[in-house]
Structure 1
Amino acid sequence: MSDLRVGIVGVGVMGADHAERVVRKTAGARLVAVSDPDWARAESLASRLDARVVADPLELIASDEVDAVILASPGFAHAEQLFACLEHGKPVLCEKPLTMDAASALQVVEREHKLGRQLIQVGFMRRFDPEYAAMKQLLDSGELGRTLLLHNVHRNQSVPTTFRSEMIVRDSMVHEVDVARWLFGSEITRITVRTPQPTSLVADGVLDPQLALFELANGAMADVEVFVNFQVGYEVRCEAVAERGSATIGLGSGVFTRAGGQWGGAMPADFRVRFEQAYDVEVQRWVDATVRGEIDGPSAWDGYAAAAVCEAGIESLSSGRPVDVTLADRSKVLG
Structure 2
Amino acid sequence: MTQQGTLGIAVIGTGKMGADHVRRINDVISGARVAAVVDVDEARAASVADTAEGCRAFTDPAAAMAAPGVDAVLIASPGPAHEDALLSAFERDLPVLCEKPLTPDSTSALRVLEAEQKLGHRRVQVGFMRRYDSEFMKLKALLAAGELGRPLMLHCRHRNASVHSYFTTEMLISDSVVHEMDQSRWLLEQEITTVTVLKPTPNANAPEGLSDPQLVIFETSGGALVNVEMFATCGFGYQVQTEAVCERGTARVGDAHGMLVNRPGAWGGEIAPDFVARFEEAYDREVQAWVDATRRGVVEGPSTWDGYAAAAVCEAGLRAQKTGERTAVEMIERPALYR
- Same fold at TM > 0.5: yes
What is aligned with 1:182? 186
What is aligned with 2:29? 26
Instruction: Please identify, of 68-77 and 37-46, the stretch whose mean Cα deviation from structure 2 is larger.
Output: 37-46
Q: Distance in 2 between matches of 1:172 and 1:320?
A: 19
Cα deviation for residue 113 of structure 1 reads: 1.0
8 Å Cα contact 1:161-1:202 kept in structure 2:
no
1:71 equivalent to 2:75? Answer: yes
| 2:19 aligns with one of 7, 16, 23 | 16
Q: Distance in 2 between matches of 1:81 and 1:244?
A: 46
What is aligned with 1:5? 8
Cα deviation for residue 130 of structure 1 reads: 0.5
Q: Distance in 2 between matches of 1:307 and 1:255?
A: 38
What CA deviation, in whole Å up to 9, does each residue of 1:263-319 have, x standing for no partner?
A: 110001021111111111100000011111212210000000000000110011111
What is aligned with 1:122? 126
| 2:116 aligns with one of 112, 115, 124 | 112
Q: Distance in 2 between matches of 1:246 and 1:21?
A: 35
Q: Distance in 1 between matches of 2:177 and 2:110?
A: 20
What CA deviation, in whole Å up to 9, does each residue of 1:80-122 have, x standing for no partner?
A: 1111111111111000011011111011111101101111000
Structure 2 length as normaliser, TM-score?
Answer: 0.96
Q: Distance in 1 between matches of 2:337 and 2:324?
A: 31
What is aligned with 1:99? 103
Cα deviation for residue 203 of structure 1 reads: 3.2
Cα deviation for residue 42 of structure 1 reads: 1.9
Structure 1 length as normaliser, TM-score?
Answer: 0.97
Instruction: Please identify, of 261-270 and 60-69, the stretch whose mean Cα deviation from structure 2 is larger.
Output: 60-69
What is aligned with 1:197? 201
Q: Distance in 2 between matches of 1:203 and 1:67?
A: 43
8 Å Cα contact 1:113-1:334 kept in structure 2:
no
> Partner letter of residue 29 of structure 2?
T
Q: Distance in 1 between matches of 2:102 and 2:234?
A: 27
Unaligned stretches of 5+ in structure 1? Answer: none
> Partner letter of residue 263 of structure 1?
W
Cα deviation for residue 46 of structure 1 reads: 1.4
What is aligned with 1:273? 277
| 1:47 aligns with one of 41, 46, 50 | 50
Q: Distance in 2 between matches of 1:221 and 1:159?
A: 28
**1:248-287 equivalences in 2 (<5 Å):** 248-287=252-291
Instruction: Please identify, of 257-266 and 130-139, the stretch whose mean Cα deviation from structure 2 is larger.
Output: 257-266
> Partner letter of residue 155 of structure 1?
R
Instruction: Please identify, of 179-188 and 158-167, the stretch whose mean Cα deviation from structure 2 is larger.
Output: 158-167
**1:295-314 equivalences in 2 (<5 Å):** 295-314=299-318
> Partner letter of residue 35 of structure 2?
V
> Partner letter of residue 228 of structure 1?
A
> Partner letter of residue 258 of structure 1?
N
> Partner letter of residue 20 of structure 1?
R
8 Å Cα contact 1:110-1:333 kept in structure 2:
no
Report the aligned-residue RMSD.
1.4
Q: Distance in 2 between matches of 1:185 and 1:125?
A: 17
What is aligned with 2:246? 242
Secondary structure of 1:48's aligned partner: coil
What is aligned with 1:222? 226
1:316 equivalent to 2:320? Answer: yes
Number of equivalent positions = 335
Instruction: Please identify, of 40-49 and 156-165, the stretch whose mean Cα deviation from structure 2 is larger.
Output: 40-49
> Partner letter of residue 295 of structure 2?
V
| 1:328 aligns with one of 313, 316, 332 | 332
